[in-house]
Amino acid sequence: MPRVSQQELIIGAKQGKVISFPTDTVPALAALPNYASLVFAAKKRAPDKPLILMGSSPQAIWKYVQGTPEEFRIWEKVVEEHWPGQLTLVLPASKLVPKAMNPLDPSTIGVRIPNSIIAQNILKQTNCLATTSANLSGEPPIENMREIAVNFPDVLVLDEEPLKNQKKYGSGLPSTVARWTDKGWEILRQGSIKL
């Protein structure tokens, strides 16, 4: 499938197609949450590795999580400090999260706002997307959009030619992943952000 413009990418996502675009870490494979199973299929990903819900603002994300007012205050403090950025929070999922995003434990959902203008522009227009890194499961992330287009011929891939003059995007490092527990934060994967 040829690489497409940002507008074509957004239209494709709204139609339920799997798309790929750069973020502040590694490029993402993404789809609307209700089409999460298509992302698992494209990536050949096992159901025990859940997808992450990416949004353009905390307001867009909060309806997908549930907690007490006190928990929300704690989460909002962390988010104010680290979002947009390379921090994924695993929080209790609300009923809005499709089971397909986390098939083995639908009670939680990983959420993140990428520090990437390109990604945020796309997310503002698609709303939250179910995402993962653009690579086949078990292989290293692919950092180049051209290679993603070759490896995923059925995925709509953002054409990066018009983006050349923007500063280099993507650190190439995965995000820090922190899960909320009744004892506070548990670090599941240490990335560049320390909690």
pLDDT digits (tens, 9 = 90+) for 157-176: 999 754 554 444 566 677 89
Arithmetic mean of pLDDT over the chain: 92
Q: Which residue has the higher pLDDT, 139 or 2?
A: 139
Distance of CA 18 to the CA centre of its chain: 13
Q: Which domains does the chain have, with CATH numbers?
A: 6-189 (3.90.870.10)
59, 164 in Cβ contact below 8 A?
no
Mean pLDDT of 81-103: 96
